[in-house]
């Protein structure tokens, strides 16, 4: 397999600025060559494509079914925590639509994504959906803190007006970050005639490389990402630690250990780490790039060696897979663990089963009536 991959890679005779137009037409196009430099093994491409397909379909099914189940329950739709949960589902569906199908298409065609209007839209919508999900999870943890630790004043603190204001601020903040980042990105001096990126999706490193690594966009993106990540971690740590402390203090006079509270906190903390894994990976990669220096980044944009480094290719593939993980697990973590939501979702299965049984009974009754009519006609004849 290594020999086949080496032969395929050798078909890409990487070209300089002088002989680009003469040699590309005789061999693979730049998009195909860049794809081979990222994923040179055909079996790895097939496995990755099926993983992305399964995760994309699972995300659509789980989020769509959960949202439909909550919408059918009038009692749940009016609750504050459910409103945040529906906002999280909307962000996850937006994230899945933005990253899932384009990545699958690139893997199927075995070509890197082109830099066009869709690439800019994917970059913008992806940024908005990720920041929206992160802020929504932060607000959900804070809402649980008010519910557990300040139950008496819960309805006074979280009114419907404040709820709508918080949800609006989440989207205003996310859209503002995405818009400013996109505007700063186009201040770069990259070669706009270049239409092929070096990635399977338009994530920051790929787009910034094509745009000549504009410093303002990179600094703004990294600062906002680190700030939002730290805000999310601090709020979640404060909320769950306070809830655990209150639950533990409530049973200290009985000399008991609150294993349920400890397990709940550990579970949500582990799910939070899994949710933040793509952003943590991005922050880590940004820190590594800063340590290696700007000269290394600028070297990536030269045409003497257009193949992406091995570390960059591995991080890119890991990132595109991890971006599809949170939308699959969020409905299971924040939905099915709640008894009321679980009953509302499972009621759809019972309703579907009842309709199926009723339909089967109606069909049997119709067949029985037809048989009786035929028998009566036979006797009359």
pLDDT tens sequence across 151-193:
888 888 888 899 999 999 999 999 999 999 989 888 755 545 4
Fold adopted by 2-336 = Rhopdopsin 7-helix transmembrane proteins (1.20.1070)
Using pLDDT thresholds of 50, 70 and 90, give the confidence band for residue 342. Answer: low
Look at 39-53, 61-75, 101-115, 116-130 and tell me which has the smallest mean pLDDT.
61-75
Rounded mean pLDDT, 244-261:
63
Q: What is the DSSP string of 67-97?
A: HHHHHH-HHHHTSHHHHHHHHHHHHHHHHHH
pLDDT of 117 reads 85
Query: Considering the chain, what is the average pLDDT of its residues?
Result: 76
pLDDT of 97 reads 92
Q: How many helices (H) and strands (E) does the chain have?
A: 17, 0
Model confidence at 302: pLDDT above 60:
no
What's the rounded Cα separation, in Å, for the pair 61 and 28?
38
Residue spans of the domains in the chain: they are: 2-336
Rounded mean pLDDT, 202-210:
82
Using pLDDT thresholds of 50, 70 and 90, give the confidence band for residue 376. Answer: low
Q: Is 141 in contact with 239 (CB distance < 8 Å)?
A: yes
């Amino acid at each position: 397999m290594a020999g086949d991959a080496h032969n395929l890679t050798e078909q890409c005779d990487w070209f300089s600025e002088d002989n680009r137009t003469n040699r590309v037409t005789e061999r693979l196009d730049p998009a195909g060559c860049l794809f081979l430099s990222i994923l040179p093994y055909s079996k790895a491409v097939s496995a990755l494509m099926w993983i992305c397909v399964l995760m994309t379909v699972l995300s659509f099914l789980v989020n769509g079914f959960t949202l439909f189940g909550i919408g059918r329950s009038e009692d749940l739709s009016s609750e504050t925590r459910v409103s945040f949960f529906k906002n999280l589902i909307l962000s996850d569906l937006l994230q899945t639509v933005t990253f899932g199908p384009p990545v699958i298409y690139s893997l199927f065609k075995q070509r890197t994504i082109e830099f066009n209007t869709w690439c800019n839209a994917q970059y913008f919508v992806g940024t908005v959906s990720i920041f929206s999900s992160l802020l929504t999870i932060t607000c959900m943890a804070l809402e649980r803190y008010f519910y557990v630790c300040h139950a008496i004043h819960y309805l006074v603190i979280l009114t419907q007006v404040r709820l709508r204001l918080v949800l609006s601020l989440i989207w205003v903040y996310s859209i503002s970050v995405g818009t400013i980042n996109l505007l700063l990105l186009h201040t770069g001096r990259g070669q706009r005639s270049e239409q092929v990126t070096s990635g399977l999706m338009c994530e920051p490193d790929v787009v910034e490389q094509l745009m000549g690594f504009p410093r303002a966009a990179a600094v703004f993106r990294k600062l906002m990402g680190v700030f939002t990540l730290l805000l999310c971690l601090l709020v979640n740590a404060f909320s769950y630690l306070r809830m655990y402390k209150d639950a533990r203090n409530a049973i200290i006079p009985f000399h008991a250990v609150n294993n349920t509270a400890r397990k709940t906190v550990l579970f949500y903390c582990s799910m939070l780490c899994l949710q933040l894994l793509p952003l943590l990976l991005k922050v880590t990669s940004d820190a590594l790039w800063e340590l290696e220096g700007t000269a290394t980044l600028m070297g990536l944009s030269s045409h003497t060696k257009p193949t992406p480094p091995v570390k960059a290719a591995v991080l890119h593939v890991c990132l595109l897979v991890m971006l599809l993980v949170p939308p699959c697990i969020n409905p299971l973590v924040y939905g099915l663990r709640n008894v009321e939501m679980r009953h509302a979702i499972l009621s759809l299965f019972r309703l579907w089963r009842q309709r199926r049984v009723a339909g089967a009974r109606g069909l049997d009754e119709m067949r029985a009536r037809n048989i009786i009519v035929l028998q009566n006609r036979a006797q009359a004849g």
